[in-house]
């Protein structure tokens, strides 16, 4: 009896990989039912084979060609999409080099030992909402073998407990990572052809170096525990919003970019110089009306000192009498801050030092407000 020929599929990632399945008699490439890239292959045999592997807890689907018409793993009836909804992969799930011609549903799936999707192609919508990856998951690799999502990729609410590698991955549709949590995320050299949404997601660490965003990036309420490289993502988003003329969103991204740059500095710069001046004073140029609060605080503080010290004289004719009421002290503080100098009041003694400082700060604050306000309202 002639020996059955084995599947001739060769992996680009693992050179010594051999498929144990028998080759199809009518396969031009000598592939098995799983690797045969044809919509005409026996879908029933393919589905039953998948179910047998699942029953054996064999999750090695490396290089499998999933046709558009696929069976639901929990029911014998045929469906039009591959579905791993709420499924638990107890061992490493290997989908590297696989091709999903139809929808790929992994909603609520749990990957106990991680997953490998490197160099895979998902031609229709890939849905991973609320899925949990307890070990590291690979959709790409820094040197090669990035996956391709040809339609929408949905990872909202997904939990990547040990990190995720999307290096060199291409998202041709919308990439939705809203509410996702990452221990560390590598998006190095990833390409986002459409919008990318990371709102309300959280990262311990993330690397977006050399990544490309061709449309908008939404980053509202994104959190990074380790600030290294976080500024890169906001800088890329800022440029995109600027190109679209949305200066409000550009300003938000600029604020976050500068804040994460500040967090990477040494403690003196982080908490004294950058925090006090750039952040709290005028919000890195994005909060011009914060300057009003500082101005009001300086004017009121100075007026109280003038009033308590009685260090301001009111000129009445040829006489100068001390100012004893607060409202005249407040008036003198405003006149000093704005450097109007009507001449009806003048400081005496050590109060002259405070008045001089207030006048200098007044000039500085007015100039800073004009610069910040113009930057926020005019095209950048």
Are residues 300 and 155 located together in one domain of the fold?
A: no
Quick one: CA dihedral 73, 74, 79, 83, positive or negative? negative
Predicted confidence at residue 359, as pLDDT, reads 94
How many residues are recorded in the chain? Answer: 380
Cα–Cα dist 140/367, whole Å: 50
Helix (H, G, I), strand (E, B) or coil at 271: helix
Quick one: CA dihedral 23, 41, 124, 161, positive or negative? negative
In which domain, by residue range, is 300 found? Answer: 288-377
Residue 254 lies in a domain: no
Residues 336/351, Cβ–Cβ less than 8 Å: no
Mean pLDDT for 328-342 is 91
Residue 19's pLDDT band, with cuts at 50, 70 and 90, is: very high
The answer to whether residue 81 scores a pLDDT higher than 60 is no
Residue 380's pLDDT band, with cuts at 50, 70 and 90, is: low
Helix (H, G, I), strand (E, B) or coil at 344: coil
Are residues 55 and 169 located together in one domain of the fold?
A: yes
Are residues 292 and 221 located together in one domain of the fold?
A: no
Mean pLDDT for 322-346 is 90
Are residues 220 and 317 located together in one domain of the fold?
A: no
* CA neighbours closer than 13 Å in the CB half-sphere of residue 271: 3
The residue behind tokens 């001449």 is 343
Cα–Cα dist 54/377, whole Å: 59
Are residues 214 and 310 located together in one domain of the fold?
A: no
Residue 143 tokens read as 């040197």
Are residues 180 and 326 located together in one domain of the fold?
A: no
Mean pLDDT for 193-220 is 93
Are residues 90 and 191 located together in one domain of the fold?
A: yes
Are residues 194 and 315 located together in one domain of the fold?
A: no
pLDDT tens digits, residue range 231-272? Answer: 899 999 999 998 888 888 988 999 999 888 888 887 776 667
The answer to whether residue 71 scores a pLDDT higher than 80 is no
Pairing state of beta strands 345-347 and 312-316?
antiparallel
Per the structure, the count of domains in the chain is 2
pLDDT above 70 covers a percentage of the chain that reads 93
Cα–Cα dist 338/367, whole Å: 11
What's the CATH number where 326 sits? 1.10.287.70
The lowest-confidence range among 68-72, 100-104, 326-330, 364-368 is 68-72
Predicted confidence at residue 286, as pLDDT, reads 85
Are residues 65 and 144 located together in one domain of the fold?
A: yes
Residue 62 tokens read as 């490396």
Boundary of a domain, candidates 226, 242, 266: 226
Residue 281 lies in a domain: no
Q: Angle at CA 90, nearest 5°, toward 89 and 92?
A: 75
Q: How far is CA 322 from the centre of its chain?
A: 60
Are residues 66 and 156 located together in one domain of the fold?
A: yes
Predicted confidence at residue 88, as pLDDT, reads 93
Are residues 122 and 201 located together in one domain of the fold?
A: yes
Predicted confidence at residue 342, as pLDDT, reads 82
The residue behind tokens 């170096």 is 209
Strands of 103-105's sheet in order across? 70-72, 78-83, 103-105, 126-127, 153-154, 175-176, 196-197, 217-218
Q: Angle at CA 270, nearest 5°, toward 265 and 276?
A: 150
Predicted confidence at residue 40, as pLDDT, reads 79
Boundary of a domain, candidates 226, 252, 273: 226
Mean pLDDT across the chain: 87
Residue 127 lies in a domain: yes
User: Residue 100 CB: number of other CB atoms within 10 A?
Assistant: 27
Residue 268 lies in a domain: no
Are residues 195 and 311 located together in one domain of the fold?
A: no
């Amino acid at each position: 009896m002639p020996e059955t020929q084995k599947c001739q599929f060769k992996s680009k990632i693992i050179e010594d990989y051999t498929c144990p399945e028998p080759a199809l008699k009518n396969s031009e490439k000598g592939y098995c039912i799983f690797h045969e890239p044809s919509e005409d292959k026996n879908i029933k045999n393919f589905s039953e084979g998948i179910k047998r592997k699942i029953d054996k807890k064999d999750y090695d689907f490396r290089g499998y060609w999933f046709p558009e018409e696929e069976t639901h793993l929990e029911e014998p009836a045929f469906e039009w999409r591959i579905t791993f909804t709420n499924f638990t992969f107890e061992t490493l799930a290997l989908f590297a080099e696989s091709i999903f011609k139809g929808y790929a549903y992994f909603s609520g799936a749990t990957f106990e030992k991680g997953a490998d999707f490197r160099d895979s192609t998902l031609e229709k919508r890939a849905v991973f909402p609320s899925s949990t990856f307890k070990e590291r998951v690979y959709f790409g690799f820094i040197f090669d073998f990035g996956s391709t999502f040809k339609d929408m990729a949905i990872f909202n609410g997904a939990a990547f407990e040990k990190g995720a590698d999307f290096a060199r991955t291409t998202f041709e549709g919308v990439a939705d990572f809203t509410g996702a949590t990452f221990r560390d995320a590598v998006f190095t050299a990833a390409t986002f052809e459409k919008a990318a949404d990371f709102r309300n997601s959280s990262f311990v660490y993330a690397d977006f170096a050399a990544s490309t965003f061709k449309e908008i990036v939404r980053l509202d309420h994104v959190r990074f525990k380790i600030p290294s490289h976080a500024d890169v993502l906001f800088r890329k988003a800022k440029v995109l919003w600027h190109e679209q003329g949305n200066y409000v969103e550009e300003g938000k991204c600029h604020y976050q970019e500068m804040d994460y740059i500040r967090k990477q500095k040494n403690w003196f710069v982080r908490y004294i110089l950058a925090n006090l001046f750039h952040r709290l004073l005028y919000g890195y140029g994005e909060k011009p009306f914060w300057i009003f609060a500082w101005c009001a605080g300086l004017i009121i503080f100075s007026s109280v000192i003038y009033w308590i010290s009685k260090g301001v004289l009111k000129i009445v004719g040829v006489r100068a009498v001390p100012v004893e009421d607060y409202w005249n002290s407040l008036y003198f503080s405003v006149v000093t801050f704005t450097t109007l100098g009507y001449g009806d009041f003048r400081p005496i003694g050590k109060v002259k030092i405070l008045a001089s400082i207030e006048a200098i700060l007044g000039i500085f604050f007015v100039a800073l407000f004009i610069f910040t306000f113009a930057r926020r309202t005019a095209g950048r």
